[in-house]
Amino acid sequence: MSGLKESPLSTARPLRVLIVAPSLDILGGQAVQAARLLERLSKEASLEVAFLPVNPRLPGVLRKLQSIKYLRTGVTSIPYVASLLARVRKYDVIHVFSASYLSFVLAPTPAILVGKLYGKKILLNYHSGEAEDHLSHWSSAVRTIHMVDDVAVPSEYLVRVFAAFNLQAKPIYNLIETEKFPFRERRPLRPIFLSNRNFERHYGVDRVLRAFATIQKRIPEARLIIAGDGPERTSLEQLARELNLENAEFTGRVGHERVVELYDAADIFLNGSEIDNQPLSLLEAFACGLPVVTTDAGGIPDMVSAEKTALVVPRGDYEQLAAAALRLLDDSTLAQSIIKHAREECRKYRWEAVREQWLNLYHELAAGSGARQQKPEQEGVISTVAKTVSGEDANQRRDKLEENQRTAL
């Protein structure tokens, strides 16, 4: 294990790591990343890894209550916190996945506080593309993050955002299991398009629908597969009707085990996001051989090279999104070049590329050599968090909870 730094614990017994994250019952980037990481880390001899879901399944009638919006938040939080109190004390490092806004308060914050209660090393793994707005408007989040021992983020973009708030963060790319996303030759490209983002306003699926309306004026037989679900579903379906779209199929929620079928059915991937970080769906498209047309939202310019691994257009400009897609259909040489370079780009997201970074980070934390956050005064952190949960800010942003738990990276 070249370069791996061992902690004193690693010579006596495996380092015990607890991953706290959404389960795949909440389909989204955090859940997928947590599942992939857990599978890989479980095979490491130097670690003993376990998983604690922030959304535990409840038995019997309580399970039905989890299907009721807002009510499920309270019903789920009680067993979640109880699980933290029972299990965190058994581990050396607590690896906490995090989104933003109210879900930050309800999911990672209890894990951080319980971890500190037991004197454990806390690694915050922050994924949300809404980080800048979150940290700007939720001062309690900044103070809570100052309590953790280290922060890992999946992009250089988030490193820069955190630095603006005097928070140190280490970039470790998202994990893509390229062997599970088989490559398929696409010569020539067919006018079959795919959108695979959750139906949240900031993911711009409406821009994809408008772009497809423009494409269909030129290619009436073109098809669009729209995979996903979320609070914008009704309005998106209504927009598709208003645009008189033909051959536009809403597939609904597609489980992780069937997502490869989506990519195999399409030839071009369209992404219209307004706010983003490092979306897994773009990387999965790279691996499968779909050329990508995307906006320049958030951290996307850090993960793609315009004209080399993807075609990039300004946020909100669905006409340019459509024009770029048509350009791929018209220019086979360009399309094949993008496919080739995008596939090569996937190498940096394979387990072989990120494995040592995760292992070193865990062992550094256990040895006490992690990058401790520079802390301001911490008096009142818990009361500030409690005020956030019950106060006006929480009421205004309550609808963000489920949205941010699903956020793709």
pLDDT digits (tens, 9 = 90+) for 130-147: 999 999 999 999 999 999
pLDDT digits (tens, 9 = 90+) for 339-352: 999 999 999 999 99
How far is it, in rounded angstroms, from Cα 136 to Cα 139?
7
Q: What is the mean pLDDT of residues 298-322?
A: 97
Query: Looking at residue 31, what is its pLDDT?
Result: 93
| CATH number belonging to the domain at 8-175+351-406, selected among 3.40.640.10, 1.10.4080.10, 3.20.20.80, 3.40.50.11930 | 3.40.50.11930
How far is it, in rounded angstroms, from Cα 17 to Cα 20?
10
The CB-based long-range contact list for 178-183 (8 Å cut-off, 24+ gap) reads 178/287, 178/346, 178/349, 178/350, 180/260, 181/260, 181/263, 181/284, 181/287, 181/288, 182/260, 182/264, 182/288, 183/287, 183/288, 183/289, 183/343
Domain 178-349 is classified in which CATH homologous superfamily? Glycogen Phosphorylase B; (3.40.50.2000)
Cα dihedral 194, 196, 199, 204, rounded to 10, equals -60
Q: For residue 331, what pLDDT band results from cuts at 50, 70 and 90?
A: very high
What is the percent of the chain with per-residue pLDDT over 70, rounded to a whole number? 83
Domain regions of the chain by residue span: 8-175+351-406, 178-349
Query: Looking at residue 404, what is its pLDDT?
Result: 46
How far is it, in rounded angstroms, from Cα 301 to Cα 342?
14
pLDDT digits (tens, 9 = 90+) for 372-403: 665 544 444 444 444 443 333 433 443 444 44
pLDDT above 60 (res 61): no
Of 403, 211, 200, 204, the closest CA to residue 296 belongs to 204
Averaged pLDDT of the chain: 88
pLDDT digits (tens, 9 = 90+) for 37-49: 999 999 999 999 9
Tell me which amino acid residue 205 is. V
pLDDT digits (tens, 9 = 90+) for 239-274: 999 999 999 999 998 887 789 999 999 999 999 999
pLDDT above 50 (res 179): yes
Query: Looking at residue 186, what is its pLDDT?
Result: 96
pLDDT digits (tens, 9 = 90+) for 213-244: 999 999 999 999 999 999 999 999 999 999 99
